[in-house]
Every structure is written in structure tokens, then in C-alpha cells.
Structure 1
């Protein structure tokens, strides 16, 4: 981003601190206005002539740049998959707690892997539990693939909407 004296254009299309349109102004005059108001003159784009520039408060400008960097970092990271373990015969209050935990993870943008560890012959109860939990989480996530029943566990992955 080009700021203050680094702007080389002879004229700029100037926008004020509060978003008001100040029209086409010489760069020297725009810099003078910026110094008087104790703000920065920021060039928004070099693709047009005259380049659009804005008078921006220094603290808000830095804050905006930091927010943009944080968003970029978050999109670079991508989505994580977090595991929630359950038992086939879970009590209602424990079920509600796990459901709220899954909702919180899904709304933050991460996927949830629901895992029920099996003991003895409880695969049908585990599958029904996961189906119910997926139905309850429909408002904030959707199931990816199907429910996988392997020898020792039942697994379903729910991705955020």
C-alpha cells in the first residue's frame, strides 16, 4: 500500500476522512490536507488515472491492515478436524454437552469427527446415536460421506455449512 510522499502521481481522486468525495486534487494539496488533519494519505489503487486516494486516520489504518493479515492467515490455515468421543450408551445431559461442544466447533469453522468406541455388541446403538447427533447438528453442519462402522468404532464427520 502506497502512503503519503510515496505517491508519485500529479493528481489524485481524493476521499475525505469520513468518506466524503473531495474530487480531483493535486498530490501536494492532498498531502497538505493530510498534514493539517494529522492523518495519512493512502493510495487505494494504481490501476486508474488519477489514482483514488483516501485520507485515513493512522490508528484505524494500522488496525485495518492487521485485520486483513489475520483473515489471510486464517484462510491459509484451512479447516481443522476436531474429534469428539462418545460412548454408545450416553446419558442425556452428557449428550447435550457434546452437542453444544460440536456446535461451537462447527460455528468457528472447523469440522467435527464424531467417534463412538465400541465394546461388545453395541454397534447398532452407536450408529443410532451418531445419526441422532448428525440430525441435531443439521442447522450448523452437514455430514460428509456416510457413517463408517469398523470393528472397534463408529465414525461420522460433520463439516460446517
Structure 2
């Protein structure tokens, strides 16, 4: 805080300090100026702005299937899982069993293994297919680094 002073004196102080005289508030009377390294401030502002859009927190996305889900529907869900993985999200794939389907857990395991095989180029298996509850088999896929 140097207080009010003539512009010439402020410029001279800035030159002596090897810094810039930057007008902060032009509308104020008298105009408010600050002695600082303007290049450094611009660089930091630009860096902060460019880093702001790049942050992506990994989320766990779920895809639900049934033991009787058709091939086309599975293909559609696999494409969606691939999009999630490319966005750097983890994918949890659930196969739910109802009624008589409970007797055919091997069908659910085959579906999950087939999906894992399809997505092996973009993902790694974080948790292999296993029964999570009496009615649900799950696997978790993480994006490849």
C-alpha cells in the first residue's frame, strides 16, 4: 500500500522494481493501479483456465442385463460400456436372475466372459465375474492406462 501518487512516480517505482504498473480499477476515482509482474499473472491465469476443463473424476457406471437379454441388446450395452471406459470411467456389469433363471447361473457367467473378451482392448478386469447376491452376478472393468 503506497497510497495516492502521480502516475509518473508510480511508473518510476515500477521500473526501479523491475515490474509493471497495471491498472486494476479504471472506473475508480482516482484509478487504482498495482505494481506487479503482469506476465506472471497472465501465465498463471491462462494455466488455471486450461487446467480447469481437463479434470475428470472417475465414476463407477453400471450396466444391467438379464440372463435372457438378446444379442443385439447386449451389443448395444457393450458399445455404451466402451464409451464409458474411453471416458476413463469404471464399468460394473450386473446380470440379474429371476425365478427359473436362478438355476442357470452359467448363462450369466458366459455372458460376462463374452463381454469381457469383447472389451479387452479398452479395459482390464478389476473384479472377475462372481455372484454378488443370490440374484445377481457382477464384474467390474477398469479402463486401460
State how 1:17-28 maps to structure 2 within 5 Å. 27=18
Aligned 1:77-88 pairs, distance under 5 A: 77=57, 79-88=58-67
Q: Which residue of 2 aligns with 1:91?
A: 70
Counterpart for residue 126 of structure 1: 108
Q: Partner residue of 1:42?
A: 40
Partner deviation per Cα, 1:23-44 (whole Å, 9 max, x = no partner): xxxx35xx59xxxxxxx5127x
Counting matched residue pairs gives 111
In structure 2, runs of 5+ residues without a counterpart are 1-10, 22-37
Q: CA deviation at 1:137?
A: 0.7
Query: Using the alignment, how far apart are the partners of 2:128 and 2:109 within structure 1?
Result: 11
Normalising by the residue count of structure 1, what TM-score does the alignment of the two structures yield? 0.59
Listed one character per residue, the Cα deviations across residues 125-154 of structure 1 (whole Å, up to 9, x for unaligned) are 001000000111111111113211241111
Structure 1 CA distance for aligned equivalents of residues 130 and 117 of structure 2: 16
Greater C-alpha radius of gyration: 2
Q: Give the alignment's TM-score, normalised by structure 2.
A: 0.64
Partner of residue 88 from structure 2, selected from 97, 106, 109: 109
Relative to structure 1, the CA distance from residue 68 to residue 130 in structure 2 (aligned partners, 3 Å threshold; closer, same or farther) is same
2:59 and 2:123 map into 1 onto residues whose CA distance is 14
The equivalent of 1:144 in structure 2 is 126
Partner deviation per Cα, 1:44-76 (whole Å, 9 max, x = no partner)? xxxxxxxxxxxxxx6x874542221344x53xx
